[in-house]
Chains A and B, each alone.
Chain A
C-alpha cells in the first residue's frame, strides 16, 4: 500500500500478461498517429514500438523480454560499455523519431520499465499534470547543445612574472608536471622552494587564462540565450583529466561551457547563424564552439529546468588543482 500504485496487478495488461515481458517506455507524447512509430526498431530484443494511450497522453513503448531487462540483467548490461552504447543508442533513436510530435514529446531516461501496459498507463496518469506541463513547454521547440573549449596556451604568457617562470616544459607539455621535482632536482637546497614558485606561477597563469575563458563562455552564452526560451548549463566535461595532468587538455583545451538551449523550431536557422557569427567573432578567436542538435528536449523535460543550474565547482577547469589553493587566500 505504500507504493504509488498496486505492486503487481494480477489482471494487468492484456498485451503483456506474459511474465516474460516488460513494457519499456521511451517517451511520453500526445496526438501521435500509430504510423509515427511504425517501423521503429527500439531495443533489438523487443517487439514493435507502439503507443499506449493513457488519458490524452501516449507512452511510446515496446515489449521487451523480462529476462534481458530485469534489474540484474540491466545492471550487468549497462555496465558493459558496448552494451551500454547499444541500449543508449536504441533508446535515443526512438525518442528522436518522435521528438517532432506536434503535441510535444517528453523524453524519459534510459530504462523506465513496467510490468505490463496497465502499470505504464497508471504511471503516466499518476504524473499526468507533470507530463502535460512538460509537453506544453516542449511542443514546437527543440534542444541544441553548445560546448565551448578554449585553447591551451603553449607559448610563454606575458602575464607570467619573471620570478615564476613556467619552466622549460610549457604547461601543456605531457612531461611537464613531473619534471620540476625530479629526484635529482629535489636534493638541491632550495629546489622545493623553486618548485612551489613554479607551481604558484603556473597557477597564476591558469587563473588569468580562466578569467579570459569565463568571459568567452559568458559571451557565447549571453548571445545564444537571446534566441532561447530556456537555457541550462550542464556539467562541463573533461575538466578533471585535462586540468590534473596538463596533457590531453592541450589537444582540445578545457571545456568552459557546456550548455543546452531550448529554441523554437522556427528559430533554428537563427541559432545556427548566431553560432556561425560567434565562431568568427574576433574576440573569440581560438575559442572552439561545438554545436550539436537538434535534440529531443531531454534537458528541458522537467519543469524546473528554466532555473539555471550552474554548478560553479563542476565547471571550473582549474578546480582540480587551483580550487583549494585559491580558497585559502
Chain B
C-alpha cells in the first residue's frame, strides 16, 4: 500500500486544476501526437498497469472521506483479494445453480442470461448447469 500512497498524495481536484495524477496519466499515456522514437517502449504495458492505478486514484479521495477501504480487498489491486473474490463468486453461483437444479429450472435462456449478468462467475456457472 505504501507505493500507492505516493500516488494519492495530490489534493483532490475541486477547482480547475491539473495536478491530479490520474488525469495527467490519462493524457500523457494515451494522447498527444504519437511519432516513432529511437527507443521503443511498450506503452501498452504501462497502460495496463496504470488502468489499475487510475481506477484506484480516481476513487480514493472520496472513498477515504467516506471511510471506505474497498481497494484493500479489490481484485485489481490485490492478488490475494482477487483469489478469494473469484472463489467466493464461484461458490455463490454454484450454490444458486444447485438449488435451481433441484427444482428443475436450469437451462432456460432467461435464467442463464440473468446468471451471466451476475458477474464473472457466470460463464462457469452456465457450464455447470449444462453438465
Contacts and interface: CB of A to CB of B under 8 A. Distances in A.
A and B assemble together:
yes
Contacts of A200: 114
10 closest Cβ contacts across the A-B interface? Answer: A325-B117, A192-B99, A328-B113, A298-B27, A298-B31, A186-B95, A192-B100, A113-B39, A107-B32, A248-B70
A325 B113 contact: yes
Interface in B4-29: 4, 6-7, 13, 15-18, 20-29
A174 B35 CA distance: 45
Among B26, B35, B95, chain A packs the most CB atoms within 10 A around the CB of B35
12 contacts: A71-B40, A78-B46, A111-B37, A242-B59, A244-B120, A252-B59, A292-B16, A292-B18, A295-B27, A321-B117, A325-B113, A326-B117
B68 A196 contact: no
B62 A81 contact: no
Nearest to B21: A85
Interface of B: 3-4, 6-7, 13, 15-18, 20-43, 45-46, 49-50, 53-55, 58-59, 62-63, 65-66, 68, 70-71, 74, 76, 88, 92-93, 95-100, 102-103, 105, 109-120, 122
Contacts of A191: 96, 99
Nearest to B50: A84
A324 B45 contact: no
Nearest to A113: B39
A251 B35 contact: no
Interface in A183-201: 183, 186-193, 195-196, 199-200
B21 A112 contact: no
A89 interface: yes
A83 to B, nearest CB: 10
A200 B112 CA distance: 12
A62 interface: no
Contact of A241 (B70, B112, B113): B70
A237 B15 CA distance: 20
Contacts of B53: 81, 84
B100 A91 contact: no
Given A75-B42, A92-B24, A4 B36 contact: yes
A81 B3 contact: yes
A127 B96 contact: no
Contacts of A237: 22, 26, 54-55, 58
A324 B116 contact: yes
Given A74-B39, A78-B46, A85-B7, A174 B70 contact: yes
A223 interface: no
Given A85-B6, A113-B38, A203-B117, 11 more contacts: A4-B36, A82-B7, A106-B33, A107-B32, A107-B33, A109-B33, A186-B99, A192-B95, A196-B115, A248-B70, A298-B31
A193 B112 CA distance: 12
A186 B111 CA distance: 17
Interface string A214-255: 000000000000000000001001101110110110111001
Contacts of A95: 28
Contacts of B39: 22, 69-71, 74, 111, 113-115
